[in-house]
Amino acid sequence: MNFHREILRDAITASGMSHRELAGKAGINNSVLSKFLNGKQDMMCATYFSVLEALPEPQRLLVKQKLAAGNQLNLETLLINASIEERAVVMRIIADYWFSNQLIEKSEKLAVA
**Same-domain status, 96 and 75:** no
**Same-domain status, 38 and 51:** yes
**Same-domain status, 61 and 72:** yes
Q: Considering Cα of 29, then 34, then 40, then 45, what sign does the dihedral take? A: positive
Q: What pLDDT is recorded for position 93?
A: 92
**Same-domain status, 33 and 60:** yes
> Model pTM?
0.58
**Same-domain status, 71 and 113:** no
**Same-domain status, 16 and 60:** yes
Query: Rounded to an integer, what distance in angstroms lies between the CA atom of residue 6 and that of residue 28?
Result: 19
What's the total number of domains in the chain? 2
**Same-domain status, 95 and 112:** yes
**Same-domain status, 25 and 68:** yes
**What is the CATH number for 22?**
1.10.260.40
| Three-state helix/strand/coil letters over the chain | CCHHHHHHHHHHHHHCCCHHHHHHHHCCCHHHHHHHHCCCCCCCHHHHHHHHHHCCHHHHHHHHHHHHHCCHHHHHHHHHCCCHHHHHHHHHHHHHHHHHHHHHHHHHHHHHC
pLDDT, tens digit, for every residue of 60-98? Answer: 988 888 887 655 556 776 777 778 888 899 999 999 988
Q: What pLDDT is recorded for position 70?
A: 58
**Same-domain status, 93 and 69:** no
Residue type, 28: I
> What angle is formed at CA 75 by the lines to CA 74 and CA 77, rounded to 5 degrees?
65
**Same-domain status, 33 and 14:** yes
pLDDT, tens digit, for every residue of 5-55? Answer: 999 999 999 999 999 999 999 999 999 999 999 999 999 989 999 999 999
**Same-domain status, 71 and 87:** no
Range of the domain at 90: 83-113
